Amino acid sequence: MKEFLVELTTTVPQGTDPAEVSRRRADESVRAEELAAAGHLVRLWRPVGELRSIGVWRADSEADLRAKVLGTLPLLPWMTAMATAVQPHPNDPGPTGWMCRSGTW
């Protein structure tokens, strides 16, 4: 699968019943767990104090990402999504942190 950096911004429509917001957020949590288990949701962050998330997602193509992955999110009708295809950078230190070229720190 290809990797995408995805920024999702949620804007709940004014006048939406708080119970509907709570229900969708609970459903969103369940769906995120399912997508993570299937390998589509890799990492997810939320900037402090914002209803926005930034994450690494995987799908076969951007079309599949939008239709078959993000398209299944219960909050999607209230979201805008910006997706950027990404690939590993030659200087990426990987998941372990700082890169060590010489073998010593």
- Tell me: the pLDDT tens digits for 35-62? 999 999 999 999 999 889 999 999 999 9
- Tell me: the pLDDT tens digits for 79-91? 999 999 999 999 9
Q: What is the DSSP string of 54-102?
A: EEEEEESSHHHIIIIIGGG-TTGGGEEEEEEEE---TT---TTSS--SS
Give the pTM.
Answer: 0.84
